[in-house]
Amino acid sequence: MTHAQYQTAMTLYSQGRHAEAGGLLRQAAQGGHAPAMSQLGYQMLSGRGAPLDRVAGVRMIVAAADKGEAMACTLAAALVAAGVFGGPDWPRALDYLRQGAEAGFPMAQAQLRLLAGRGGDDWRGLHREIDIKSWQTAPDPHILSRDPRVSAFEGVASPAVCDWLIARAQARLAPAMVYDRAASKAVDASRSNSAFEMGLADLDLVVLALRERLAVAAGLPVMSMNAPQVLHYAVGQSFEPHVDFFDPAIPAQAKSIATVGQRAATALVYLNDEGLEGGETDFPLLPLRYRGHRGDALVFFNLDDTGQPDRRTVHAGLAPTQGEKWLLSQWIRDGALASASNQTPPAAATRKA
C-alpha cells in the first residue's frame, strides 16, 4: 500500500499536482516506506515541496538511511559530516556514503570516486582509500599582504573537484543578491552576477571536505562557516566594491554579530581559468589584484589584529572581459557560533533520529 502511495505521489508531482502528491507522500512516509521517508525528509530539510522543518527532516532522513535507502544514505552522509549531531563525524559519514554507493545512488558513487581520487566501482575499496586527514591539511600560503592579511593557496581543489562544483551549480543559479540589513531587504544593485547558495540539504561530502581544507588555511573552525556559494560571472558581470564584515555601527548588523558572530575571513576558490580574461578580485585600497588558476584559493581577513572591522579589505569582483568566471565563496565566522550552513538543527533534537 505504501509503495503504491509513493508511486502515485511521484506521478502527481510530475503533473504539477503538488498538494495531492504531498498528502500521499506523507502517508507513505508515515507508513515506513523508506523512499517516501527520504523524499519527504529532503523536502522538509530544504523547504522545497513541503513546509520547512529541518529538525523533522533530519530525523526522517536518518531513519530512512538506517533502513538502507540510497538517497537517504547520501543525504545522511552530508548531515553527519556537516556536524548536525554536535561536530563532524567523518568515519560515520563515509560509511553512509559507501552504503549509498552500494545501493546504486549515482551521487554517492561520484563522491566516493572524487574523495578517493580515482575511478572504479569497488565501493568498499574506494571507501578504504579515502584519507580525510589529507583534506584536513592546506598548502603553504603565498602571502600577498601582511596587513591586512591576504594569502593565496595553490591547488586547494583538484580540477575534478572544481568541475563537480560547477556542475552542482549550473542548473540552480539565480541572480546574486546582497542583503541590506539596514533596510531589512535583499537588493541586487551592487552586483550583476549569479549565485547558488548551498543550504543544508544541498551539501555533499566533496564540498564539506574542501571546507575542511579551507578552514585549515584560514586557521578558523570549520563549524564557523556559513553556507557556501558558487558564483558565476559572465562577460561584463561584476560585484562592485564592498566589505564582507558586519558593521557594528548599524544596529541590525550589530545584532547579527551578537547572535551568529562576525565574518572574520573570506575564502574564494577559483574554479576555472581556461579562456578567461579579466575577472580578478580587486582590493583597491591595498592596492592588490589577484586571480588564481583553477583550484587555487584566496583567503583574506576582514578584521584587524584587534578584532575590529578592517575597512582596507574593501574588494570587488571584476567583470570578465572574455570567457566566464566560476568561484566558490565561503565566509568564516570568528567563533563556533555558526553551523555548517546556519541552518543545522540542534544536536539534542536529532541525535536519536
57 and 36 assigned to the same domain = yes
Residue burial 298-332, b: 16+ Cβ < 10 Å; e: rest: bbbbbbeeeeebbebbbbbbbbbeebbbbbbbbbb
Indicate whether 346 pLDDT > 60.
no
Give residue 190's pLDDT. 62
180 and 288 assigned to the same domain = yes
57 and 182 assigned to the same domain = no
pLDDT, tens digit (0-9, with 9 covering 90-100), for 109-124: 999 999 999 999 999 9
C-alpha distances (whole Å) from 227 to each of 187, 308, 333 are 19, 23, 11
Peptide bond into 148 cis (omega under 30): yes
Give residue 343's pLDDT. 40
127 and 157 assigned to the same domain = no
* pTM reported for the whole predicted model: 0.91
Is 307 a domain residue?
Answer: yes
Indicate whether 311 pLDDT > 90.
yes
26 and 88 assigned to the same domain = yes
167 and 275 assigned to the same domain = yes
Give residue 37's pLDDT. 98
Indicate whether 202 pLDDT > 60.
yes
Is 351 a domain residue?
Answer: no
Domain span at 89? 2-131
First to last CA, the chain: 25
In this prediction, residue 335 has a pLDDT band, given cuts at 50, 70 and 90, of low
Indicate whether 351 pLDDT > 80.
no
Query: Average pLDDT for residues 279-307, to the nearest whole number?
Result: 97
Query: Average pLDDT for residues 303-331, to the nearest whole number?
Result: 97
147 and 126 assigned to the same domain = no
126 and 112 Cβ atoms separated by less than 8 Å? yes
Query: Average pLDDT for residues 146-153, to the nearest whole number?
Result: 98
Indicate whether 349 pLDDT > 80.
no
Looking at 68, 96, 131, which one is the last position of a domain? Answer: 131
Is 327 a domain residue?
Answer: yes
Give residue 66's pLDDT. 96
Mean pLDDT of the chain: 92
Looking at 76, 96, 131, which one is the last position of a domain? Answer: 131
Q: Which three cell numbers stand for residue 202?
A: 544541498
Looking at 89, 109, 131, which one is the last position of a domain? Answer: 131
Is 178 a domain residue?
Answer: yes
156 and 68 assigned to the same domain = no
How many C-beta atoms lie closer than 10 Å to residue 170's C-beta?
A: 13
Mind giving me the DSSP string for 68-91?
T-HHHHHHHHHHHHHTTTSS--HH
Give residue 344's pLDDT. 42
Give residue 176's pLDDT. 86
Indicate whether 347 pLDDT > 50.
no
Give residue 211's pLDDT. 98
Q: How many domains does the chain have?
A: 2
Is 19 a domain residue?
Answer: yes
Is 248 a domain residue?
Answer: yes
In this prediction, residue 192 has a pLDDT band, given cuts at 50, 70 and 90, of confident
101 and 168 assigned to the same domain = no
CATH number at residue 123: 1.25.40.10
pLDDT, tens digit (0-9, with 9 covering 90-100), for 66-110: 999 999 999 999 999 999 998 999 999 999 999 999 999 999 999
CA 138 to CA 86: how far, in whole Å? 24
194 and 171 assigned to the same domain = yes
Radius of gyration of the chain (CA): 21
Is 73 a domain residue?
Answer: yes
Local structure of 104: helix, strand or coil: coil
pLDDT, tens digit (0-9, with 9 covering 90-100), for 5-56: 999 999 999 999 999 999 999 999 999 999 999 999 999 999 999 999 999 9
Cα–Cα–Cα angle for 82, 87, 93, rounded to 5 degrees: 50
231 and 318 assigned to the same domain = yes
Indicate whether 227 pLDDT > 50.
yes
Give residue 98's pLDDT. 98
Is 136 a domain residue?
Answer: no
In this prediction, residue 179 has a pLDDT band, given cuts at 50, 70 and 90, of low
In this prediction, residue 191 has a pLDDT band, given cuts at 50, 70 and 90, of confident
Indicate whether 177 pLDDT > 80.
no
230 and 204 assigned to the same domain = yes
Q: Closest Cα partner for 197 from 224, 222, 165?
A: 165
CATH number at residue 152: 2.60.120.620
